[in-house]
Amino acid sequence: MDLHDLRREYLMGELRRADLCEDPHDQFAKWMQQAFDMEVVDPPAMTIATVDANGMPSQRIVLLKHFDASGFVFYTSYASHKGRDLDSNPNISLHFPWHSVERQVRVSGVAERLSVEDSQRYFHSRPRGSQLAAAVSPQSQVVASRDALEAAFAELDKRTEGTEVPCPSTWGGYRVRATQIEFWQGGANRLHNRFRYTREGSSWRIERLAP
Ligand SMILES: Cc1cc2nc3c(=O)[nH]c(=O)nc-3n(C[C@H](O)[C@H](O)[C@H](O)COP(=O)(O)O)c2cc1C
């Protein structure tokens, strides 16, 4: 496959300072709604990057489950690769790649665990199958086989029949409190539009960045 001569122009929209909300969470809410309206596939799917104790970065997709001015919330295993990274370094970057609308959003911030109560409440709101899967999956660890996972799933399903699936103590949410949020809108001739919000106390500084 020759990728060299592929050329795509980014012509869907403009982004001007006057278009922006003063608070990036409001701007994010506006773009998230537009992503749904314009039928972007899975707008809440975001790539999150963490860094381990040796400085090695890694990334993976998780689902954004809630956001407001206090931060961006996702759920996972605290004992996973990302969970261990965040134990030693809570700095995190989130990335929303909304290709079909020629937009991306990048968030830098610090992750903190949700309370056990909030995590458990969300855990029990999930379909029973997802609860069982989370409870039997030692996320990011080597497992013997698919069969072993399925056997553990079936065993827990049987054992907890008619009752609640216990939320593992290693499972829960993180809230990412943003320090910077960047909005990118593709532009003609690769002269793209970028605006970066930087937290300054209770307000935000907004700057245009070169593409
Ligand atoms: C579309 C999509 C959504 C996902 N959502 C989540 C999620 O919300 N939480 C989660 O822990 N893993 C989710 N995953 C799986 C992660 O990408 C990853 O495989 C897993 O969390 C283990 O990552 P780690 O070993 O880096 O900790 C999702 C994967 C995809 C492709």
Query: Each residue of 111-140: pLDDT tens digit?
Result: 999 999 999 999 999 999 999 999 999 999
List phi, psi (to 5°) of 175.
-110, 125
- With vertex at residue 196, the alpha carbon angle to CA 31 and CA 21, rounded to the nearest 5 degrees, is 45
Residue 1 above 90 pLDDT?
A: no
Burial class from Cβ neighbours inside 10 Å (0-12, 13-18, 19+) for residue 30 reads middle
Residue 83 CA, closest ligand 1 atom number: 27
Look-up of token digits 């001015």:
69
CATH, domain range 17-209: 2.30.110.10
DSSP-based three-state secondary structure for 34: helix
Is 190 annotated in the active site? yes
Per the listing, tokens 């809630």 go with: 66
* Cα–Cα separations (whole angstroms), residue 78 to 43, 139, 157: 24, 9, 23
Residue whose CA lies nearest to ligand 1 atom number 4: 62
pLDDT, one tens digit per residue, over 38-79 is 999 999 999 999 999 999 999 999 999 999 999 999 999 999
Break the chain into its structural domains and give their ranges.
17-209
Q: Which ligand 1 atom lies nearest to the CA of residue 82?
A: 27
Say which amino acid occupies 100.
Answer: S
